Each structure stands twice: as structure tokens, then as C-alpha cells.
Amino acid sequence: MSLQQHVILNHVDTPVRFLFWTKEEALLILAPFMLGSTLDFILLGFITSLSNFYLIHLYKRYFGKGQLQAVRYWFFPVNPNRLSSFPPSYIREFIGEGVIER
């Protein structure tokens, strides 16, 4: 069997990309640059974008690629428009009908 028969399995875990950055990288790189250019601080926005790019790669090297999604889930507010089947992050265990909160 050749590896070319399972092309989908080789690419299941690839992250969504915008241009050549992942979603998190694109947000942390483009947002400061756009804000800086809007407020007429282009150089400050560019420097902030470069430092964000360096810091996010450093963070991903030490903690792994999926860690940012876990941090976003646990520490940022829940969007009420999301699916209602996901429990809030403060609920640790479900036991029957009752919910245990810690």
C-alpha cells in the first residue's frame, strides 16, 4: 500500500490557514498592524505584529500547537450563540440529572 491512497488521513490535523498563517497567528499579526495603520502608528503596529509573531511561535514551541485553543476555552467568556450542547467551562462533572460545580 502506498501512502498516496490515504491523503485525507495525512491532512486531518492541519489547521485552518489564512494566507500562510494559522487563525491565531493571523489575528495576532494583522490586528495590531491594521489598528496601528488606522491610528497612524504604522511603525508601532508593525513592531507589535512582529513581536506577537515571535511570541506565538515561542509559546507553541514550549506548550504545543493545541494549547491556545484550550486556554481560549477556559479563560475567555463563552459565546451565547454557540451550540448549547457544550457545557460551560466551570462544570467539571455530570452525575445523572444534577451538576457538580467546583
Model pLDDT, residue 43: 94
Q: Which domain holds residue 38?
A: 3-101
CB 35 within 8 A of CB 43: no
pLDDT category of residue 9 using cuts at 50, 70 and 90: very low
Q: By the 8 A CB rule, do 22 and 52 touch?
A: no
- Percent of the chain predicted with pLDDT > 90: 20
What would the mean pLDDT of 97-102 be, rounded to a whole number? 55
Number of structural domains (the chain) is 1
Crossing angle of the two packed helices 42-63 and 67-75, in degrees rounded to 10: 110
pTM of the model as a whole = 0.57
Take residue 66 and report the three cell numbers written for it.
Answer: 493545541
For the stretch 10-43, pLDDT in tens is 565 666 777 888 877 888 889 999 999 999 899 9
- Say if residue 51's pLDDT is above 80: yes
